[in-house]
Amino acid sequence: MSSQTLDKFLHEGLEDLKSQGLYNVIDPLESANGPTIQIQGRQLINLSSNNYLGLATDERLIHACVEATKFAGVGAGAVRTINGTLAVHVELEKKLAEFKHTEAAIAFQSGFNCNMGAISAVMDANDAILSDELNHASIIDGCRLSRAKIIRYKHSDMDDLRKQAKEARDSGKYQKLMVITDGVFSMDGDVAKLPEIIAIADEYDLITYVDDAHGSGVMGGGAGTVAHFGLSDKVDFQIGTLSKAIGVVGGYVAGRQELIDWLKVRARPFLFSTSLTPGSAAACITALDILMSSTELHDKLWANANYFKKGLKDLGFDIGHSESPITPCIIGEEVLTQEFSKRLYDNGVYAKSIVFPTVPRGTGRVRNMPTAAHTKEMLDSALSIYEKVGKELAIL
Ligand code: PMP
């Protein structure tokens, strides 16, 4: 028999979300997550994937994945520290260090896992973490898990960061202090002010932690936001995910050898959760080889993103202040935002609405992710559908 308190909790919670228009319906894809997708038998232009470079369906990655799977099987069979470290994991970590210009790297099963493991491996209840208020959920959860005091600073507000860093340092209450920021913020596409953050970190002896999930493969010719600012030897933790531009799955920390050695004995997802599948690790290695040998996909991504951004702006939409390919189209009110996205869908464009609580109330947006795999024709058709829906809903 089920628990009555659980039944009541679930029923009321779901009804509440639905009545506010905040209940998220998940549409399964009947195709790969490429520039177009199929849902319920319909072909749609896909502007919602993080597959920035189109690598998720790249033949070279598929081949590497299949070969590694044939050689080593579909699963790694154990956690990394028992006997789940295969040669392919070691090769991947070497390649990641090369990609990020660091001494070493450690791979995790996802970017989320990486933040859960890496922060709590170093920070504890005697410490404090200065965290940008718009940091990703996995950073917030990783900070909470560490039990360090969390001090949120206003989004990219360097005066606030400096003030709070000074207060924390002067209070004498904390042993270690860390500053954590996304490299590229996933909802607005703006880039962290890393040179200023590093200067403040130098002043107050802060450990620096940059999660570049949306910047790797995208910023700095592909090497990421830290490389974009020429700060590769100044950031302690360079975090990335293998699930977005790299096109596969997984996460990593790149940094100094001793830091990586420490994470390998202290980061709990590394110690207690089975390692990446051999096929995924091999596909990631191939993706990194592609990224390090040519900027072709990166350049295509930026050309497409700039084209699409200009198109939306010329139509009269508010596209915020993105400095990356992430292109928000800010609509405002939650129900209107969801209606906008639904009408895009009805007309053949898949672009998800993002509303409170993911973004602040009243700043609902449809988030667009143009990729290297889109053709100009696809982007043109998406723009004309945007125009039609914008007029229908009197936004234009
Ligand atoms: N960090 C940031 C900044 C992210 O945007 C994401 C992806 N949503 C993650 C971590 C989690 O990465 P993954 O999907 O690989 O778990």
Query: What is the 185 CA–ligand 1 centroid distance (Å)?
Result: 11
3-state SS record for 302-364: HHHHHHHHHHHHHHCCCCCCCCCCCEEEEEECHHHHHHHHHHHHHHCEECCEECCCCCCCCCE
Which phi-psi region, left, alpha or beta, contains residue 75 (left: φ > 0; alpha: ψ -120 to 50)?
beta
pLDDT exceeds cutoff 90 at 27 = no
Strand partners, 105: 254
Q: What percent of the chain has pLDDT over 90?
A: 95
In sequence order, which ranges of 4-106 are alpha helices (DSSP H)? 4-19, 59-72, 87-100
pLDDT per position as a tens digit, 145-195: 999 999 999 999 999 999 999 999 999 999 999 999 999 999 899 999 999
Strand partners, 37: 44
Q: Name the residue of 52, 96, 133, 241 whose CB sits within 8 Å of the most ligand 1 atoms, as the mutation to test its pocket.
A: 241
Q: Which residue, among 224, 213, 238, 242, has the nearest Cα to 65 in the 3D structure?
A: 242
Among the atoms of ligand 1, which is closest to the Cα of residue 135? 3
Cβ contact 371:52 at 8 Å: yes
Hey, what are 287's tokens? 């993706």
Helix (H) or strand (E) holding 139: helix 137-146
Q: How many helices (H) and strands (E) does the chain have?
A: 14, 13
Query: What is the 241 CA–ligand 1 centroid distance (Å)?
Result: 6
Q: Provide the mean pLDDT of the chain.
A: 96
Cβ contact 357:314 at 8 Å: no
Which residue's CA is the closest to the ligand 1 atom numbered 4? 213
* CA distance linking residue 350 with residue 39, whole number of Å: 9
* CA distance linking residue 199 with residue 209, whole number of Å: 14
pLDDT per position as a tens digit, 77-94: 999 999 999 999 999 999
Give the Å distances, CA to CA, from 198 to 195, 208, 224.
5, 7, 16
Strand partners, 45: 36, 349
Cβ contact 35:48 at 8 Å: no
Among the atoms of ligand 1, which is closest to the Cα of residue 185? 3
Q: Which residue has the higher pLDDT, 25 or 99?
A: 99
Tokens 């229908």 — which residue? 392
Among the atoms of ligand 1, which is closest to the Cα of residue 239? 1
Q: Name the residue of 48, 133, 136 whose CB sits within 8 Å of the most ligand 1 atoms, as the mutation to test its pocket.
A: 136
pLDDT per position as a tens digit, 272-318: 999 999 999 999 999 999 999 999 999 999 999 999 999 999 999 99
pLDDT exceeds cutoff 70 at 1 = no
pLDDT of residue 23: 83
* CA distance linking residue 184 with residue 218, whole number of Å: 10
- Residue 2: band (very low, low, confident or very high) from pLDDT cuts 50, 70, 90: confident
Among the atoms of ligand 1, which is closest to the Cα of residue 115? 10
Query: What is the 358 CA–ligand 1 centroid distance (Å)?
Result: 14
pLDDT per position as a tens digit, 117-148: 999 999 999 999 999 999 999 999 999 999 99
End-to-end CA distance of the chain: 54
Query: How many alpha carbons fall within 13 Å on the CB side of residue 395?
Result: 26
Query: Which residues are part of the catalytic machinery?
Result: 186, 214, 244
**What are the residues whose beta carbons fall under 8 Å from the beta carbon of 76, sequence distance 6 or more?**
84, 86, 89, 274, 275, 276, 277, 278
In sequence order, which ranges of 190-333 are alpha helices (DSSP H)? 194-204, 225-228, 257-266, 268-272, 278-293, 296-315
Query: What is the 380 CA–ligand 1 centroid distance (Å)?
Result: 29
Q: Which residue, among 285, 289, 283, 269, has the nearest Cα to 84 in the 3D structure?
A: 269
Hey, what are 393's tokens? 């809903």
Among the atoms of ligand 1, which is closest to the Cα of residue 243? 15
pLDDT per position as a tens digit, 202-227: 999 999 999 999 999 999 999 999 99
pLDDT per position as a tens digit, 46-62: 999 999 999 999 999 99
- Provide mean pLDDT across the span 259-277: 98
Domains of the chain: 57-293 (3.40.640.10), 295-393 (3.90.1150.10)
- Provide mean pLDDT across the span 335-363: 93
Q: Name the residue of 243, 252, 359 whose CB sits within 8 Å of the most ligand 1 atoms, as the mutation to test its pocket.
A: 243
Q: Name the residue of 96, 112, 143, 211 whose CB sits within 8 Å of the most ligand 1 atoms, as the mutation to test its pocket.
A: 112
* CA distance linking residue 17 with residue 309, whole number of Å: 32
pLDDT exceeds cutoff 80 at 21 = no
pLDDT of residue 20: 80
- Provide mean pLDDT across the span 250-261: 98
pLDDT of residue 359: 87
Query: What is the 138 CA–ligand 1 centroid distance (Å)?
Result: 7
Question: Model-level pTM?
Answer: 0.96
* CA distance linking residue 321 with residue 329, whole number of Å: 10
Report the alpha-carbon angle 308-370-221, nearest 5. Answer: 100
pLDDT of residue 321: 94
Helix, strand, coil tally for the chain in percent (to 5): 45, 15, 40
Query: What is the 152 CA–ligand 1 centroid distance (Å)?
Result: 19
Which residue's CA is the closest to the ligand 1 atom numbered 14? 111
Which residue's CA is the closest to the ligand 1 atom numbered 12? 111
Tokens 């390919």 — which residue? 325
Among the atoms of ligand 1, which is closest to the Cα of residue 249? 15
Strand partners, 368: 327
User: Within 6 Å (CB) of ligand 1, which residues are found?
Assistant: 110-112, 115, 136, 138, 182, 186, 211, 213-214, 241, 243, 251
Query: What is the 135 CA–ligand 1 centroid distance (Å)?
Result: 10
